[in-house]
Structure 1
C-alpha cells in the first residue's frame, strides 16, 4: 500500500504527511481529556452537583478547543501534502513528454496521458492527503488508547487491541482481489477514453465514409464493459466496508463486554467502566476510516503504475544538430508504420527544393499526411532517410526544427485571447505593422478592421469565427513565423470556396521566396505546382508537373477525372438551382 517511488518523488510531502498525523494525534489526546472530564462530571454530579461541573469546565473547554484546532491544522497540512504531489507529478509528466517529443505516442496513447495527468494525479492527491496520514494515525491511535485503558483494565485493553489488527488483515485479503480488479478497471477506463478521443478527432472522416454508426456501436460496447467493471469495483468496496464494520463493532462490543463483567463483579469502578465504554469505539474508528480510504489508495496505486511506466519510457538521445537557412528537405527510400502491423509508407523518395511549390496528392489513406508528419519530426521510427540539409530530422533539435519549418494543418488550433495574442505566438517581437501585413496577406484585415482590430477577442478554438476566418488567421500566424519551409497539410479542407482561393493565392505567392509543401486531396489547388508527387496506398507512383502526370500517371489521371466530373456535376446543380 506504500510505494517508495512515490515517496522519493516528493520527499518534502512526507513532512506535511507527518504533520497531519501529529495534529490528528493531538486531537486524539484532546478527545481523551474531553471524555475524562465528561465521565468525572457524570460520576460526581450526584454527590457534588454543580461543583463537579465547574471543576471540569476548564478541562472540557480546553479539550474542545484543542479538538477544533487539531482538526483545522491537520486539514491544512493534508492539503499542503496533496497539493505538492499533484504539482510535482504533473510537472514531471509534462517535462517527460517534452523530452520524448512529438513521438511520445509511440510509448503511450494521448488519452492515457490525459487521464493519468488529470484523474490519476487527483487520485494520488487523495492518497497523499488522506490515506497516508490515516495509515500512520491508525497505528498510533490504538497504541495510545491501549496505554490509557491499560491501568483501568488490562483485560479490556488487551481484547480491544487484539481486535484492531483484524481490520487491516481484512483489507489485505480484499487487496489481493482488488489489485487485479482495479488494474482491469484502469485498463477499461483508458481504453474508453482513448476510443472517445480517437472518434472525436476523426468525427468528420467517420461521417464522410459512413462509419460513424459502427463506431457508435463499438463505443457503446466499450462503455458497457466499463460500466460492468465499475459495478464490480463498487460491489467489492461495499462488501469490504460491511466486513470492516462487523469487525469494528464486534471488537468494541467484546471490549465493552469484558469491562461490563468486571464492573458487575465489582472489580472495576463505575468511572473506569464509563471511560472504557466511551473510548472503545475510538480504538477502531481510525482503522475503520483507513478502510474507507482503501479504494482511494488502490486507485492511486493503479494510476501510479501507469505514471511510472510513462516516466520510465526510454528517451531518445539529445538532438544537437541544427537546420540551417536554405537547407532542402529530402525523403530517401523512406518506409514507415505507426505500429508493427501496418506499413503506411513504402520506399518513398522525394525532395523539396529551397524555393518553389511542391505538392503531395493522393486518395484518402494514401499516406499524404504521414509525409508531413515525418518532415516535421513527428516520429523517429522511420526507415530510410528524412533529411534537412545533411542531417536526419530525428537528429535536429526541436528548437531548430521549429524555427526552420512551419506546419499549417486542417483546423489549426486558435487559443482563447485576442488576435494579437494568437499572432504573437509565432513572433513575440512582431509589431502592429507586421501583424497587419500578415493579416493583409491572409485577406483577413478588412474583416478585423470592422471589429476591434488586433484586440478582437478570440474564443477557444476560434469558435466565434467561421471556418475560413480561422484558417486565414492560422495562415497569418504562420506567415509571421517567417520560416524557411512551410507545410500546408489539408489547410483548405472544410472551408468555403472563396476562403480556399484566397489562401491558395497566398500560398502561391509564398512559394516564390520560400519552400512550400502542399498536402491536398483537391488537385485543382496544386495544378500550378512546380512538382506534384502522387501517392497510392503508401507508394510513390508518379512525380512531375500537372501536364506530365496526366500523360504518364494513371492514378493521377483517375483522380483528376473523377474530381473534374464531380465539380462539373455540382456546378450544373448550382446552375439549375439558379
Structure 2
C-alpha cells in the first residue's frame, strides 16, 4: 500500500503547481480536515441509524429517539463542515486566479516581444486556462490527499469488525488510481495536443478576422473558410479523443468500484454466517462505499485537473522566463542622430535583415521596399519593440539597449495604421497625451489636421470616440492620432504606413504636416506609396534583407535601380 501511495503521488500530484501556493497550502489542509470531519459525520450517522433500528426492534423507544436526535446534530455538523470546506476551496481558488492572472499579465508586459506566446495565446491561457487550473486547486488537491487518508482510516475501523473484509476493500482501492495512472500518459499527450490545437485555432481565427476586408476584396474568403473548417475539424477530432479517454477512464473506475463493493458485500455476508452481528454486517455494507468514493471522486476530477495542469505548466513556463534588466541611462537630449550598426534580425530560421547600416539626422527619411522586405521590422527595432539578433542601434552614441524605456518613449513616437484610439471624449484624449494642454492649443492642433470644423459641428471637445472608431472615417482617425502625437514634444517620429487605406485628402494633409515636422525633428516615414516619399531628404530601399540603394528621389530615379522600377510600376497602376 505504501508503494502504491508513492506511485500515486508521483503521477497524480504536480509538485511545481503545489509549491506555487506555498503561503496558502494551509487552506488545502483545512479543506482536507473538513472532508475528514464530513467522513466522521457520515460514519456516525450510519452507526446511529443502525443503533436506532436496533432499539426499535428491541423495544427501546427512548434510546431510539435520542439516537435520532443525535443523528440530527451530526447532519447539522455535516452541513457546516461541507460549507466551510467549500469556502476554503473557493478562497484558495480565488487566490490562485488573482495571483496567476496578475503575475502572468505583468510578466508578459515586462517581457514585451521577447515571449514565445502571442497575445491571443496569452489571453486564452489567462482566461480558460486559469479557470481549468482553478478546479485543480479548489477540488483536486484536497481530494487527492483525502483519497489517500480516508481509506486507511476506514481500514483501521473495519479491521476491528472483520479483518478479511477490511483487507479486501483496501486491496481493491489501488486498482482505481492504477487505472488512472495507466491512462494518464495517454491523457497528458492528448491534453498537450488539445491545448496546442486550441491555441492555434484561436490565433488562426483572429488573424482571419483582422484580414476579413482583404479576404473579401481579393475573393479569398471562401478558401480561407475551407482552411478554417479544416482547422476546426482537427480541433473537434482532438476534443472527441479527450471525451473518449475520459469516458473510458470513468467506465474503468466504476467497474473497479462496483466489483470491490460487490466482493465486500459477499465477504460481509459470509462473516455474518460465521457469527458476526447482523448490525455490524449492515454497517460494513452501508459504509463500504466510503472506501471507494474518495478515489472515485478523485478520478472524476483527474482529467479536468490534467487539463488545468497543462495550462498551468505553460503559464509557469512563462513566469520562469527571466525579465530583462531595466536600463537606467536616459535618452540623450538634444537628440541629433540615430544609427544602426550591422543590424540583423531573424524570425526562427528566416533572415529578415542582415548587417544593415543607416544613419538618420534631423530631417525626413523614408524606407521603401516590397511587402515583406523588413520595413516594419526595422521600425520596430528602432523603437525597441523587437530585439536585434545581432548588431546595435545608437541614439547619438548611446546604445538603445542601455536607454531607460520610460525616458525613451517620452521623446520617441511610433504611429502606424494600426495605432489605437481610446473610446473617450476629445478633451480626455488630449489630456491623456498631455495633461497640461490648453483648450486653445487643442483647437490649434485640430486646425492643423483640418478637423476643427468637424469637431465644432459635433459637440466640440466633448465629442466622444465610439468603440472601434465607428464614428470616424479612416482618414479622420489617422489625422486625429497625428494631432494627439503632435500635442507632445517628441524629438523623433516614426510613421509606419500611416496613410494606408485612407482617402487622398487625408493623405495629403498628413504628408504635408510630416514635411513641416522634419524641419527640426528626426522623421522616419515607411510607406508603400512611393509618391509620398519624393520630398524625403534620403530614401532607403530595402531588398534581400539589406539596403541596396539610398539617396533623394531625384538621384534614385536617375540611377534607374530598384526605386525607379517600383515607382514606375505604381505609377502605371494608378493611371489604369
TM-score by length of 1: 0.90
Matched, 1:352 2:360: yes
Contact 1:411/1:471 (<8 A) preserved: no
> 199-208 or 328-337, which moves further after superposition?
199-208
Check whether the contact 1:102–1:377 (CA below 8 A) recurs between aligned residues.
Answer: no
- 2:500 corresponds in structure 1 to 493
Given the alignment of the two structures, is residue 171 of structure 1 paired with residue 180 of structure 2, yes or no? yes
For residue 205 of structure 1, report the CA deviation from its aligned partner. Answer: 5.5
Q: CA deviation at 1:120?
A: 2.4
Report the counterpart of residue 25 of structure 2 in structure 1: 14
**Corresponding residue of 1:65:** 76
Counterpart mapping for 1:55-94 below 5 A = 55-94=66-105
CA contact under 8 A between 1:379 and 1:394: conserved in structure 2? no
- Give 3-state SS (helix, strand or coil) of 2:413's partner: strand
Q: Determine the C-alpha separation between the residues in 2 that align with 1:261 and 1:563.
A: 95
Q: CA deviation at 1:552?
A: 1.8
Q: Does 1:244 align with 2:250?
A: no
Residue 240 of structure 1: CA displacement?
Answer: 0.5
Counterpart in 1 of 2:56? 45
Residues 125-145 of structure 1: CA deviation (Å, up to 9, x unaligned) = 111111101101112222333
Which residues of structure 2 form unaligned runs of 5+?
A: 1-11
Residue of structure 2 equivalent to 1:511: 518
C-alpha separation between the residues in 2 aligned to 1:564 and 1:203? 27
SS in 1 for 2:161: coil
- The answer for the alignment partner of 1:326 in structure 2 is 334
DSSP-derived class of the 2:165 partner: helix
Which range moved further: 91-100 or 365-374?
91-100
Structure 1 runs, 4 residues or longer, greater than 6 Å off: none
CA distance in structure 2 between the aligned counterparts of 1:385 and 1:344, rounded to whole angstroms: 15
Q: Counterparts of 1:441 and 1:493 in 2: how far apart (Å)?
A: 20
Q: Distance in 2 between matches of 1:99 and 1:297?
A: 29
Of 137, 140, 151, the residue aligned with 1:128 is 137
Q: Provide the secondary structure at the position in 1 that maps to 2:252.
A: helix
CA distance in 1, matches of 2:75, 2:330: 68
* Cα shift at 1:113: 2.7
Counterpart residue number, 1:574: none
Query: What RMSD in Å do the two structures reach over aligned CA positions?
Result: 2.6
Give the structure 2 partner of residue 231 of structure 1: 240
Structure 1 unmatched ranges of 5 or more: 570-578
CA distance in 2: counterparts of 1:366 and 1:109, whole angstroms: 22
1:287 is aligned, of 295, 305, 308, to 295
Which residue does the alignment assign to 2:35? 24
Specify the SS of the correspondent of 1:128: helix
Q: Which residue of 2 aligns with 1:374?
A: 381
Aligned residue in 2 for 1:477 = 484
Q: Distance in 2 between matches of 1:86 and 1:475?
A: 40
Point out the more displaced range, 229-238 or 523-532.
523-532
CA–CA distance in structure 2, aligned partners of residues 199 and 212 of structure 1: 9
Give me the whole-angstrom Cα distance separating, in 1, the residues matched to 2:58 and 2:460. Answer: 87
Q: CA deviation at 1:523?
A: 2.0
2:475 to 468, 478, 490: 468
Give the conservation status (yes or no) of the 8 Å contact 1:13–1:85.
Answer: no
Asked if structure 2 preserves the Cα contact closer than 8 Å seen for 1:102 and 1:378, the reply is: yes
Q: What is the Cα deviation at residue 413 of structure 1? A: 1.6
- Scaled by the length of structure 2, what TM-score is found? 0.90
Match of 2:407 in 1: 400
Q: 1:470 to 1:178 in 2, by over 3 A?
A: same
Cα separation, 1, equivalents of 2:56 and 2:462: 77
- CA deviations 1:410-463 (Å, max 9, x no partner) are 121223444444444433454545544444433334333333444444344334
- Offset at residue 212 of structure 1 (A): 5.2
Q: Is the 8 A contact 2:55 2:61 kept in 1?
A: no
1:353 CA displacement: 1.3
Q: Which residue of 1 aligns with 2:568?
A: 561
> Once the two structures are superposed, what CA deviation does each residue of 1:51-100 show, in whole Å capped at 9, x if it has no partner?
45531332122222222222221111111111112222222223332332
User: What secondary structure does 2:558 align onto?
Assistant: helix
